[in-house]
């Protein structure tokens, strides 16, 4: 990354972050994408940013007329009153009068009326930023690919030598490939819209590093909103590595002092064992310390979580009123992983949240729509850990009893702590037990304890030292075993 170069803002803060500050002045950039991907909107952001900085900005259009471009720009809130427009598209009389529309070369500068318009406009406006929409139209007007490349290169050099930073668009498609244009520019931004997901990617950026990978994007009423792929290494906050109490003395004994700040805890078990309730109980104790927590629920409704918590003596409504708790219902198919990560970042960095719970991993997996769960959970949890956040991951296992499995999603390696809950059948009664399978930063109790969820809250009993075969789900008492 070259951080010594003064940059030209793209007009979108997250795109500036992806390019480590924005465009490099005096260079040319290409925005590639099919119809409706947001190329022109990106150009409006670029030009409007220049106007805000007191610069001169020029929009050269070879397709849509100026009136339509201005109307569309205003619908997104852009003020185009100070942007200069050069409309090189054919007028309505082109068809009726059978006029020709010839592209120009650098050798035809003085003869070609189109070139003359560009030269006059550049000399008059003296723009610092030029947006060309689109370069593809030039290709349709040239029969020779070699001449097209030569002409475009000459055109770009003329604009750059005039002191402008140039952004142009290309309607990339299999019918009209633009590999020749990609070689001529200094940077390439790719826009796509597939399976209801908008994606932006920087694939070339001469003179500087950039954040590689696919980044989510939306077209909003204010233009383009970009959600950068989360890079955990870029985020860090100093915090005190200390154990935090759960408010349950027996749980704290089980974990030798409680869970630590900045750690990732997997709370796993079959449905109905109390995984979410245990997580909210930990948040209740955090609220007593004046700390804020947030629950992101992908499956259960807000009312279900609130009513169940209140029924076991966890005052979630009071916590919500005091601002020490937030419960957010996340519709799995509404957000991309990057959008969800952006939501979590805003909560952590603006609200000073200390505990984050994802309920549950299976619901989060649905939101990925086929993408790699492990990679996204890894990035999000490592970010939270770097920020000193205590992370609670709720995982539901398939089997009520029988062979023990901590998780079916393959993220045990990521967890600093693994707390498991399971059902036991004792004397024909279905009971619950809690234990610790892993604790990275300290020792832990190597026994299981019985767990009950009552109207007075969670109750955890003493160690079940007289039981054998607990992990099988059908344990036997030690004295029964010896009598056999």
Question: Is the separation of the CB atoms in 206 and 68 below 8 Å?
Answer: no
Q: What is the pLDDT along the chain (484 residues), one digit of tens a residue?
A: 455 678 999 999 999 999 999 999 999 999 999 999 999 999 999 999 999 999 999 999 988 899 999 999 999 999 999 999 999 876 655 445 544 445 444 334 433 677 788 889 999 999 999 999 988 777 765 667 777 788 888 889 999 999 999 999 998 776 667 888 899 999 999 999 987 889 999 999 999 999 999 999 999 999 999 999 998 998 999 999 999 999 999 999 999 999 999 999 999 998 999 999 999 999 999 999 999 999 999 988 999 999 999 999 999 999 999 999 999 999 877 888 889 999 999 999 999 999 999 998 988 888 777 678 888 899 999 999 999 999 999 998 876 555 555 555 667 889 999 999 988 877 778 889 999 999 999 999 988 899 999 999 999 998 887 766 656 656 666 655 444 4
Q: Could you give phi then psi for residue 416, rounded to 5 degrees?
A: -80, -35
Strand partners, 108: none
- Closest of 311, 247, 306 to residue 281, by C-alpha: 247
As a whole number of angstroms, the distance between CA 182 and CA 185 comes to 6
The DSSP code for 420 is E
As a whole number of angstroms, the distance between CA 193 and CA 201 comes to 12
Q: Could you give phi then psi for residue 104, rounded to 5 degrees?
A: -115, 165
CA angle 430, 445, 468 (to 5 degrees): 45
As a whole number of angstroms, the distance between CA 20 and CA 205 comes to 10
Extents of the domains making up the chain: 13-229, 234-483
The DSSP code for 91 is P
CA angle 429, 432, 436 (to 5 degrees): 150
Q: Tokens 């927590």 sit at which residue?
A: 293
Question: Is the separation of the CB atoms in 276 and 305 below 8 Å?
Answer: yes
From residue 400, give the alpha-carbon distance in Å to each of 124, 267, 432.
77, 15, 10
One DSSP character per residue, 272-283 reads: TSSHHHHHHHHH
As a whole number of angstroms, the distance between CA 333 and CA 370 comes to 11
Query: CATH class for domain 13-229?
Result: alpha beta
Fold of the CATH domain 234-483: Rossmann fold (3.40.50)
Q: Could you give phi then psi for residue 478, rounded to 5 degrees?
A: -60, -40
Q: What is the dihedral of CA 208, 211, 213, 219, to 10 degrees?
A: -110
- Give pLDDT, residue 67: 92
As a whole number of angstroms, the distance between CA 67 and CA 35 comes to 19
As a whole number of angstroms, the distance between CA 270 and CA 359 comes to 13
- Closest of 383, 300, 390 to residue 346, by C-alpha: 383
Q: Note the pTM of the prediction, 2 decimals.
A: 0.84
């Amino acid at each position: 990354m070259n951080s010594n170069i003064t940059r030209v803002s793209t007009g979108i803060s997250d795109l500036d972050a992806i390019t480590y500050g924005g465009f490099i002045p005096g260079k040319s950039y290409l925005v590639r994408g099919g119809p409706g991907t947001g190329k022109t909107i990106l150009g409006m952001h670029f030009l409007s940013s220049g106007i805000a900085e007191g610069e001169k900005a020029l929009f050269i259009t070879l397709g849509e007329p100026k009136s339509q471009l201005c109307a569309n720009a205003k619908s997104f809130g852009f003020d185009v009153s100070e942007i200069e427009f050069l409309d090189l598209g054919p007028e309505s009389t082109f068809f009726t009068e059978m006029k020709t529309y010839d592209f120009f070369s650098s050798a035809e500068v003085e003869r070609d009326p189109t070139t003359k318009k560009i030269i006059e406009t550049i000399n008059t406006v003296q723009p610092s930023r030029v947006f060309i929409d689109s370069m593809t139209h030039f290709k349709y007007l040239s029969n020779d690919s070699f001449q097209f490349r030569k002409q475009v290169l000459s055109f770009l050099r003329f604009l750059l030598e005039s002191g402008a930073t140039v952004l142009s668009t290309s309607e990339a498609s299999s019918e009209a490939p633009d590999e020749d244009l990609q070689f001529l520019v200094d940077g390439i931004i790719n826009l796509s819209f597939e399976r209801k997901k908008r994606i932006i990617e920087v694939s070339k950026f001469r003179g500087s590093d950039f954040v590689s990978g696919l980044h989510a994007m939306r077209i909003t009423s204010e233009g383009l909103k970009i959600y950068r792929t989360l890079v955990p290494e870029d985020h860090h906050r100093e915090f005190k590595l200390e154990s935090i109490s759960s408010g349950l003395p027996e749980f704290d004994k089980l974990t030798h002092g409680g869970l630590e700040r900045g750690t990732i805890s997997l709370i796993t078990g079959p449905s109905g064992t109390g995984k979410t309730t245990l997580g909210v109980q930990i948040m209740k104790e955090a609220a007593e310390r004046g700390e804020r927590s947030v629950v992101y629920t992908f499956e259960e409704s807000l009312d279900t979580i609130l009513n169940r918590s209140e029924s076991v003596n966890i005052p979630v409504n009071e916590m919500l009123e005091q601002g020490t708790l937030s419960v957010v219902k996340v519709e799995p198919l509404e957000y991309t992983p990057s959008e969800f990560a952006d939501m979590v970042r805003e909560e952590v960095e603006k609200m000073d949240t200390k505990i984050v719970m994802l309920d549950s991993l299976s619901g989060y997996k649905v939101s990925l729509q086929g993408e790699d769960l492990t990679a996204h959970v890894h990035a999000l949890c490592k970010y939270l850990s770097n920020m000193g956040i205590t992370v609670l991951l709720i995982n539901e296992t398939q089997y009520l009893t029988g062979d023990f499995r901590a998780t079916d999603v393959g993220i045990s390696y990521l967890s600093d702590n693994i707390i498991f809950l399971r059902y036991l059948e004792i004397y024909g009664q279905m009971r619950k037990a809690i234990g610790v399978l892993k604790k990275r930063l300290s020792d832990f109790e190597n026994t299981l304890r019985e767990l009950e969820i009552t109207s007075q809250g969670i109750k955890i009993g003493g160690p079940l030292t007289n039981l054998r075969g607990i992990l099988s789900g059908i344990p036997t008492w030690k004295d029964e075993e010896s009598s056999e």
